[in-house]
Amino acid sequence: MAERRIKYLHKEIAHLKIMIKTTKTSVKDLHDEIERLQAELKALTYVNIVCAECGSDDMLINAAVRWNTEKQNYDVWNVFDGGHDCGDCGHPCDIKEVPA
């Protein structure tokens, strides 16, 4: 269900952007509608990683990283299937994705 809604929202946003260039409809109204649709799209596509046991997002994730000299930061190379710890319930647990 969400995939169809996401596809629809992308098409609707593209349509509204074309309308801004080709119509006499209030540009502000069209921009407001685009922002509303983009917020809905974000809500449908963004996820949060939480503890599968208690639902907390205070997670220590077991992953392999590589140093990126250009960014001066680590890039995540791999997230392992296990070995994650929850800061709230205090024991090893699995992770799950939930809507953000």
Q: What is the pLDDT of residue 24?
A: 65
What is the structure's pLDDT at 1?
A: 58
Contact 37, 94 (CB under 8 A): no
The pTM assigned to this predicted structure is: 0.50
Residue 58 has a pLDDT of 94
Q: What is the pLDDT of residue 25?
A: 67
pLDDT (0 to 100) of residue 7: 84
Cβ-contact 74, 66 below 8 angstroms: yes
Mean pLDDT per segment of 10 residues, for the chain of length 100 residues?
80 81 74 85 83 92 93 92 89 86
Buried b (16+ CB within 10 A) or exposed e, 81-91: eeebebeeeee
User: For position 43, what pLDDT does the model report?
Assistant: 77
What angle (nearest 5°) sits at the alpha carbon of residue 13, between those of residues 29 and 96?
Answer: 120
Domain boundaries, the chain: 2-45, 48-99
pLDDT of 99: 80
Nearest partner of 95 among 58, 44, 46, judged by Cα: 58
